[in-house]
Structure 1
């Protein structure tokens, strides 16, 4: 079966079209693991990862795939798990079909890895909550129709004082900022979202009040596994580019792949790829079986895949030499799209902390 993904061969534009987004919906990439009775495909974590691995390999627009995965795992999937009202269900179906674009509002200027100290507040008023604050890094921020926003409802309760809200772009007091000019993943627009006296009715509270940390942790469990399937596919594509190059490129009268130093780099790329693939499979199996160690397995998969793709992209640049350093060339583009992988969804240091905790350290 041939799957036609929307994108040009190499996309470096700051955004995607609504037509491309709708096509992602038709391909089932916007609600992969959302139950079918809520508009999704109802796939397991393992099947979701297989689909996104394929997408990462054959679709050259990694930024758009990242936008779709963030929409799916940080917004649609937690909404499916914790929804309780008709408003939630209507938005969820629109997210899965591609009619609506969603963004997750968690990160703030002074709350990145530490999400227990959100400056964005939600004050109870008659009929709902009044939200005030700024989310500094919202994927799909400039284009989103709806946001899953986390805010502090009880500053004394730590993680139990955070609540999730469904915020519509048209709500009074919602103001998306200008898109950040990023090094990579440029076709996924990211921006601040400002909230000023934004009234959110009770029916758009997601899950119980105070359950925001648990909801976010659930979304990160899926994001740290299935989103990184895109990077497994990307590594597969990168490996293919390098194998073809070292077979064709000749120096000193022979293919450069004949030189041990060159072959060793390619073998290292293959090793990283297969290590990440196997760890991803184990993480997804743990999610599907609701295993106690699912969080640790997802952290391990995320750590190995993210650091592996950056290392392999750097190796690829060296294998291609000057051609690998030219802006717009596939290898250079892949490097820029890879660098952020060790940062978003929790930095590598945070993943190591989670893994250490699983070990009882």
Structure 2
């Protein structure tokens, strides 16, 4: 009996015992095996166990249009640091931009403006000029968030601007007394944090704050829970309380504090929800921490330390095993596997280290192509 005279269910079961190298070799035997072994069903189990494949632990698929076999290749190239770098955009500016990719549109802040650039998935190249420009701030944009319908930005001028992505209509919110360091927007709810030591709750339908919460410390980061029932604030940790606190959205009451052993000045600079019960944080104390909100008391279950003892300004996760972090040490981006304590690889962000000295510099937005098929959501730096 030939192998492919067996029922497909039996073939899937046989291939489930193979790791990615053996499957790749098997697919080179003949055209029939090649087409069968390239099916997503064959690679799903492997993809779920690897980093940066778009398959979450809950089984959700972030990139359903890209074959799983290609994503496994990407994951292996991530782990081995194999990539080609191509400059997408250059500009002369003093500040490092905030960027966010939404489908095939890249939103990128440059000084007081936010440009929307069309990104071609086949080549990974940007348009030379933005397809839309969102402006209105008098000073630099500190942070922005993109939703299905709106773009919400906070700036050094204390303003919060809500731009409608389709018709270009903008609304100015009264904002804060000092620069808006952070904000998050989810389901029509906006939470902002400022250097003026307050956090404010807004709605997209009103330009007046619904609630203002005194924080007694500078607010560096905020994140709204996926359930929209609570939000987390990260402060500068200059006062005598934990910099990480969870608040009730409706009552604006403090629900709990996370951690009690933060040293003074260990401010939290970025917060990311992996799920309603899992949280990732990073900051000045050089650690990435994972928090389990189901435990009582809620506590840190895992931490990863930046090797060069450098402050971590931003983090992102694929919802599975991968974490990417950005530090101030020569503009290094590191990738981490949550099952390991040491980082996998690191890459330099061009000449962005000049940001630390506040000198005029030419910055490059680069895209890293880690596989024959470009997947921009994963390679943007």
Provide TM-score, normalisation by structure 2.
0.24
Pick 1 or 2: higher relative contact order, CA cutoff 8 A, min separation 6.
Answer: 1
Identify the structure with the greater strand proportion.
Answer: 2
Identify the structure with the greater helix proportion.
Answer: 1
